[in-house]
Chain A
């Protein structure tokens, strides 16, 4: 991991004027953006990056870096990134969104981008809830998790269990797609995975998706220690590492053959 720039202790591709950022103290997203910036510095690709962002807390990163950023709308960073990449195939294009944008309102576009193998990187920040709107239940909320719209705990028999986005996408994604999960608890692994995902876009011209488990002390109503305890629990439900295609798919393949 590259050490932060000495001038202000942050990646060189950061837009200094946008700091301090508006993320809440202790927010996992600002950690993710820092490590994404470090990867971009390390790979020396700042001049080639175009970033499309969703709304939700992600909207706060609209001027975070010194490269082009387009602020879109909930669930819409993926199709915007797809259109941009089709027009400028030499650019390295990243779509950044939360778990609500990716797995609820924008799932259709995420699935089809993976299915078509559109050469973009989708980064999904999973903190198990809608944070910007004040901590509502998301598809990724754990069974029994208390949120503002599941005040008695998420009833999995009504709302479904924990939503495994990367595992779902893996089932229909092109075999060349790189799909992985990481966590803010392990920044070295996060940077390794993001680097691999970006290289998959550059060298294999293929789709990549990285889900990053993150913390939201504000809406979780937890202190730092409790937040990382809950994150450890998430990592048990949502295993980190590269996601491998489910073997049961062989059966469907034999049917289609």
Chain B
């Protein structure tokens, strides 16, 4: 069905399609419309519950409380709210809980700016005081806000790792007419606290010794490795025969896609590899696509955040990539077109 809709509205609709039942949040730009949108929907559908909590720490822990009861609960936050949210997210990571969060990225560090950046990649993927056993998707347009918002609940409840969708304020606040596809059938939730006194559930957050905890973490790491091939996703756009490959995610990937249409029309063989999951990355696909390219660009609205994740799994990128890092600001298709044409002339 086609709808005239904002990205943040699409997030709420998608979450409900994914089976979301409860929302906990605290207002912060540019994620606020998700809280408002959920409350508007919940005022018509009494099966949906919510709490505007006293801060992001409380909204995160209350989300965990509801998840323990077997509800598909989630939160949405941004910027410094995401910083506070690392407290509950770390616990969810430790206790293997299917925590779900929408991260509407804004500029940082600290209060920074309020609408746009891609600077919450590090924090969302690797934040907290653990090893970053989390799953992170990055939405690149309004339709994908809807698709992925539904999908992250299934990923979280299937694999029991905190799961996130990155957006940004440009994406959340733009209102466009777009096709919303029927999402995948949701993976069901289940009670985590089983309410059985004969066989009580005791969930630990603190362990008695380093060797005991090491065993738990080794098991978690092995579970995480198992899901990589099943969860990692990327999209290729006009990569066939491409001499110039752009690696970009989110809103920047959308700009790159437009740029590639223009470049191809002008005879420049450019293509896009767009990771849909930033953690884990679709390493095999990325590696095979960049292998034959003459030039590889890593373009992001941050300084070395997406690039660092890439280089760890595709080390050859470190020397090969042309770095285009602009923290806090976005990219137009025109500037990407100009950049790639200039690089082509130089060679």
* Residues of A near any B CB (own CB < 8 A): 13, 15, 46-47, 50, 52, 55, 59, 62-63, 65-73, 76, 79-88, 91, 108-109, 111-112
Q: Which residues of B contact A52 (CB under 8 A)?
A: 65
**Distance to closest chain A CB from B125 (angstroms):** 21
A76–B62 CA distance with the chains assembled, in angstroms: 9
> Is B197's CB under 8 angstroms from A66's CB?
yes
Q: How large is the interface on B (under 10, 10 to 19, 20 to 34, 35 or more residues)?
A: 35 or more
Can you report 20 residue pairs joining A to B where beta carbons are below 8 Å apart?
A46-B197, A47-B195, A55-B205, A62-B206, A69-B201, A70-B193, A76-B91, A79-B53, A80-B62, A82-B65, A83-B61, A83-B65, A84-B66, A86-B51, A86-B66, A87-B66, A87-B71, A91-B195, A112-B53, A112-B58
Name the residue of chain B whose CB is nearest to the CB of A120: B65
Question: In chain B, residues 32-86, which have Cβ atoms closer than 8 Å to a Cβ of chain A?
Answer: 49, 51, 53-55, 57-71, 73
What residues make up the interface of B, taking CB atoms closer than 8 Å to A?
Answer: 22, 24, 49, 51, 53-55, 57-71, 73, 87-88, 91, 193-195, 197-198, 200-206
Are A84's CB and B65's CB within 8 A? yes
Q: Given A55-B205, A91-B195, list of 15 further CB < 8 A pairs?
A: A13-B197, A46-B197, A50-B195, A62-B206, A66-B198, A71-B205, A71-B206, A79-B58, A79-B60, A79-B62, A83-B22, A84-B193, A86-B49, A88-B195, A91-B69
Contact A67 B200 (CB under 8 A): yes
**Chain B contact residues: helix, strand, loop or mixed:** mixed
Main secondary structure of the interface of A (DSSP, over half): mixed
The verdict on A108 contacting B58 (CB below 8 Å), with A15-B200, A84-B69, A88-B69 known, is yes
Q: In the assembled complex, how far is the CB of residue B190 from the closest CB belonging to chain A, in whole angstroms?
A: 13
Asked if A87 and B55 sit within 8 Å, CB to CB, the answer is no
Q: Is the CB of A68 within 8 A of B51?
A: no
Q: Flag if B194 contacts A68 (CB, 8 Å).
A: yes
| Smallest CB separation, A63 vs chain B (Å) | 4
* CB-CB nearest in chain A for B53: A79
Closest to B51 in A: A86
A81 to B193, alpha carbons, bound, how many Å?
A: 12
B68 surroundings in chain A (CB, below 8 A): 70, 80, 83-84, 87
